[in-house]
Structure 1
Amino acid sequence: MPSLRETLSRSALSPADVDWLHRLVGDWQMVADLSFADLTLWLPVQLDDVEDPHLSPWFLAAHARPTTGPNFYHDDVIGRPPEDDRHRWLTQVFETGRSVTPDGLTQVREQYVPVVRRGRTIAVLIRHTDLQNMRQQGGLEVNYLQISQQLFAMIAEGAFPTEGSATGVGRGTPRVGDGVVRLTADGLIDYASPNAVSALRRLGHTDQVNGADLSEIVTARFVEGSTVDETVPLVLTGRAPWGTEIETDGMNMTLRAVPLMRGGVRVGALLLLRDVSEIRRRERELLSKDATIREIHHRVKNNLQTVAALLRLQSRRLDDPAARDALAEAGRRLSTVALVHDTLSQGFSERVDFDEVATRILRATVEVASTRTVVGTELRGTFGRLLAEDATHVAMILAELVHNAVEHGFEEGPPGEQDVPTPRVVVEARRRPEGEGGKEVVEVTVTDNGIGLPTGPSATPERTGLGTQIVEALIGDLRGEISWDAAKPHGTVVRFVVRLRSAAG
């Protein structure tokens, strides 16, 4: 189905006219719901080889279905050309700028409304009412239809949508089904739908609704000393086409006002209102839970750093070099895990921007490695965002491999050759999908230009060290593989692949 932007590109409308139609379509769901009918928007195609612009064909640019009643069009109709009779009515309404309701139709009632902007007709809107499946006419239906006819008249006058209006109130913007109130020009309630009456009852108003002053009903429930948005009085009286939210003791309500105009004079207003207390309560709970999770990660990071510091202090009091090195290694590994929790504590997501973590691991590992030469590091490619559990595993693997490359690759300084490049460890990461179901793998290469792998009978790397055992265990947990190879002209290349866990898993 083509988008509205694509369909509007077929017309010769100015950018201001296109913006007007975009705002009309953005607001016309409310009109469709009030009129219990499908709405279609028709535009003339401007062809260069047609001298008479009234002979230009028409095309259907947009379509809206009501949520308050049966749909007339069940299939996608955007892009369809008009039938001969419809072409005639479209052309007539476009030329005259007057609404028309043709007679003689048996299964549908169609109302043709010119879409006017600044005195010019730029499109035609058709209201399609299914006569065979119409709702039974009651008080709600009669009032909704009356309001919709006022809106259609405003569209034909160029008074709807309103230029420069900001009607959205974020999550919880009211809709027709949430509650409809019609106000007089003086701000008194002329009609309130059952859902609107229920919302006002929950607000605390127990008296008669019709004839009451809406602004008095609402402002009487404000908590003393609370801050009231400056838009509230204008919305409650229907004098401005804005949206707002009010909060009373135990209730949140969003409101949206649409002034009803006739001949440039405000004759009343349409207000949509919605009780969003439950939505706001859930939002507050989510914010509280997010803040709690962030605080937990922050405390875990602090505890890990404290334990790492205690291990370093203890290692300095030992005379046994092997024991001292073991405690120092344990402290370094705890610091690596703390990096992941530190990153998690700074955001609301349980996913980690691992490129930032990898950069910090490279810097920290080189700083603490016991080597006589200065080793540079470089990160290429991207890890992307990883789940917290995956991030902890990959961080440990990366820290062990980089630490091993720095300490053992350059433990005797740079290789004894002339014009040897600067000692360097390069980490390159590539993330790619694997199979179906959104599964992904990360391929990582850790390359150094150090002394390289042992030669001769012991060419295979020693696999009995604690660091190597940790790496292989973590890679196995991520269903991955790892390999060691010699780099040219000297150095070591370690390649590993890990399979990420899905968010659902």
Structure 2
Amino acid sequence: MPSLSKYLSDISSFSEKGADWLQHLVGDWNLVSDLLRADLVLWVRAEDGPMAVAHCRPATGSTVYFEDPVGDRLPRGADADLDALLDGERSQRGVVVLEREGREARGLLTPVRKDGRTLAVLAVESPAPTSNPSSSETHQQELGTRLLRMIEHGAFPIDGAPIPPRRGAPRVGDGVVQLDENGVVQWASPNALSAFHRFGIAGDMLGGTLAETATEVLQSRAPVDESLPLVLMGRAAWRSDMQARGGTLSLRAVPITEQGARTGAIVLVRDVTELRRRERELMTKDATIREVHHRVKNNLQTVAALLRMQSRRMKTDEARDALAEAMRRVSTIALVHESLLQGSQEAVVFDDVIDRCLRLAVDAASATVHREGSPRIVDSQVEVRTEKVGRVGQIRADEATPLALVVTELATNAVEHGLSETGGTLTIRSERTGAHLVISIEDDGAGMGTAKPSGLGTNIAQTLVQGQLGGTLTWQNLPDGGTSAVIDVYLEPIGL
């Protein structure tokens, strides 16, 4: 089903500013739906008549729509009141009796206006009442009706108020407190009273200032959000947390205005003690994992440094080369752990690792080659250029280590055996489609001819690709000269 933005973009008469306002309304209209215990349907003017472009079901009551009405169209004249409201000729229509899904319902139409222009019409539809409403339902209906008047005058959603992205945002079912313009509690739902009572606010809260009442139970040693007083007084449309007795309440204030003047506020409250505790545990776990990666990286770099020192003491070239290869492999594993330090999950942006593998491969053959742009050590050195084509993206940490080792081994082989005498370009091409990844390590040197790649590095690469990555590793001569080593693997999905 198309999104609201797609529907609005197809209507030529809709301005970008008007579309943004409706997106903002739909992002926060569950508050109105929950207070009124009603379905909300947003109707806009299309070329052939009114069209429903968004729908919200209440979390506090039953819905009147079993089938989503989004996309429904009405011919012009089918609903005279709706047509008149969309044309800006009338104000809010009173409650009428409807039939929805074979059941009796109540309907109300409210124009959605901004800067004096009617952008849409909000249909508020709820099941026909079967009994007298409770005191809580009556108060919530009153608050919802006041928000509808704000929508009609372009005052809701509130300009500058963020749509709550944070986990644990309170909703009407969690608890509602009604304040007057001075922050005095006029009414509180049973769930709101229970939440505050658990935090040490005993007795009846009616008639007292919420800010003063809450201040008495705040933890003196805990940091206090600077926005908390504004939220407790209902003066700003904002979110804040309040800590007391080792627990946490999440509060959200929605000021109520009439003709531009603040006449009260709605404060939503939710006990998020357990949620915040889990978030702290995740943060601690994440910090611990980062510290482990940091220490492993440092230890691997220390091992590489020890191998480098030991290689300098070797009297034979064969021993020095063996230790140098071991040092390079240890340094490659350290690169993966260093990359894990940069992210918040157990995944590696492998393109960054490839950049370092390229540098490491060229530096490993520094006696005979030098990187493009770096100074020559001796006149006999040739220049090697490096190039990266395509992207790999993120891969799991347990796949990044063997893959990085393979890429480094193959890139080093390409430099030492293909480019060490002639110089040229070392290219790594990456092509990823979903879980399928193909990486080609290419050089434009003399090529391998009919010889089959062999050696310890080749065996290590083949073993890692087949054994740990479950893929294939093949070599081929390029048509214009040079060699290409192709890694073909299927990656495991990254867990959320």
TM-score range, shorter chain: 0.7 to 0.9
- Evaluate the alpha carbon distance shift between residue 104 and residue 30 of structure 1 in structure 2; reply closer, same or farther with a 3 A threshold: closer
Is 2:439 the counterpart of 1:449? no
| Alignment correspondent of 1:493 | 484
Partner of 1:476: 466
> Are the equivalent residues in 2 in contact too, given 1:169–1:245 (CA < 8 A)?
no
Map of 1:62 onto structure 2: 54
Higher mean C-alpha deviation, range 153-162 or range 212-221: 153-162
Give identity over the alignment, percent: 43
Residues in 2 aligned to 1:235 and 1:297: alpha-carbon distance in whole angstroms: 41
Q: How many residues align?
A: 476
Unaligned 5+ runs, structure 1? 48-55, 415-421, 434-439
Distance in 1 of aligned mates of 2:436 and 2:362: 27
Q: Which has the larger radius of gyration?
A: 1
Q: Is the 8 A contact 2:44 2:51 kept in 1?
A: yes
User: Once the two structures are superposed, what CA deviation does each residue of 1:140-189 show, in whole Å capped at 9, x if it has no partner?
Assistant: 22221222222223333443333333463633222111110111333222
Q: Choose 155-164 or 185-194, whichever is displaced more.
A: 155-164
Aligned to 1:240: 236
Q: Is the 8 A contact 1:169 1:254 kept in 2?
A: no
Q: Say which is worse superposed, 89-98 or 338-347, in terms of deviation.
A: 89-98
Residues 143 and 376 (structure 1), Cα distance of their counterparts in 2 relative to 1, 3 Å cut: same
Deviation at 1:104, TM superposition (A): 8.3
Give the aligned partner of residue 106 of structure 2.
109
Contact 1:38 1:129 in 2 (8 A): yes
How much has 1:11 moved relative to structure 2?
6.6
What does 1:430-469 correspond to in 2, within 5 Å? 430-433=431-434, 440-453=435-448, 459-461=450-452, 463=454, 465-469=455-459
| 1:343 to 2:339 alignment | yes
- CA deviation digits over 1:248-270, x for unaligned, max 9? 45232222222233455433221
8 Å Cα contact 2:250/2:271 also seen in 1: yes
- Give 1:96's aligned amino acid: R
Counterparts of residues 249-398 of structure 1 (less than 5 Å): 249-369=245-365, 370-371=367-368, 373-374=381-382, 375-398=384-407
Quote the residue 1:4 is aligned against: 4
Query: Displacement of 1:16 after TM fit?
Result: 4.0
SS at match of 1:176: coil
Q: Distance in 2 between matches of 1:410 and 1:21?
A: 61
Confirm or deny: 8 A CA contact 2:40 2:56 kept in the other structure: yes
TM-score when normalising by structure 1: 0.85
Native 8 Å contact 2:97 2:105 kept in 1: no
Q: Secondary structure at the match of 1:67?
A: coil
Which amino acid in the other structure matches residue 499 of structure 1? Answer: Y
The code of the aligned residue for 1:127 comes to: V
Equivalent residue letter for 1:111: L
Give SS of 1:502's match: coil
Contact 1:4 1:62 in 2 (8 A): yes
SS in 2 for 1:12: coil
Confirm whether residue 187 of structure 1 aligns to residue 193 of structure 2: no
SS of the equivalent of 1:95 reads: coil
Residues 135 and 43 of structure 1: is their aligned pair in 2 closer, same or farther, counting only changes over 3 Å? farther
Aligned to 2:80: 88
Which whole-Å CA distance do the structure 1 matches of 2:202 and 2:400 have between them? 57
Partner amino acid, structure 1, of 2:232: L
* 1:405-424 matches, cutoff 5 A: 405-410=414-419, 413-414=421-422, 422-424=423-425
- Report the Cα offset of residue 203 of structure 1: 2.0
More displaced 10-residue stretch of structure 1: 187-196 or 369-378? 369-378
**Deviation at residue 27 of structure 1 after TM alignment:** 2.2
Counterparts of 2:261 and 2:452, CA distance in 1: 87
Contact 2:28 2:163 in 1 (8 A): no
Report Cα offsets for 1:404-457 as digits up to 9, x if no partner: 22223345x22xxxxxxx433222222224xxxxxx232222222334326xxx
Aligned partner letter, 2:335 = L
1:219 offset after TM fit, Å?
A: 1.6
**1:181·1:196 contact (CA, 8 Å) conserved in 2?**
yes
* Amino acid in the other structure paired with 1:123: A
Distance (Å, rounded) in 2 between the aligned partners of 1:496 and 1:5? 42
> Given the superposition, is the C-alpha separation of residues 123 and 498 from structure 1 closer, same or farther in structure 2, using an over 3 Å criterion?
closer
Give the TM-score, by structure 2 length: 0.87
CA contact (8 A) 1:196 1:273 kept: yes
Q: Which amino acid aligns with 1:4?
A: L
Partner Cα separation in structure 1 for residue 254 and residue 311 of structure 2? 73
Q: Supply the AA of the counterpart residue of 2:459.
A: Q
Deviations 1:358-405, CA, capped at 9 Å, x for gaps: 111111221122435333322222222221121111111111112222
Structure 1 residue 36 displacement after superposition: 1.1
Deviation of 1:334 (Å): 0.9
CA offset at residue 83 of structure 1?
7.8
Q: Conserved in 2, the CA contact under 8 Å of 1:97 and 1:121?
A: no
Does the 8 Å CA contact 1:167/1:242 hold for their aligned counterparts? no
1:37 aligned residue:
38
Alpha-carbon contact 2:239-2:250 (below 8 Å) kept: yes
Root-mean-square deviation (Å): 2.8
Aligned counterparts of 2:343 and 2:68: Cα–Cα separation in 1:
42
CA contact (8 A) 1:58 1:87 kept: no
Could you tell me which runs of 5 or more consecutive residues in structure 2 were left unpaired when the two chains were aligned.
369-379
Query: In 2, distance between residues paired with 1:451 and 1:92?
Result: 80
Q: How far does residue 68 in structure 1 lie from its aligned partner after superposition?
A: 0.8
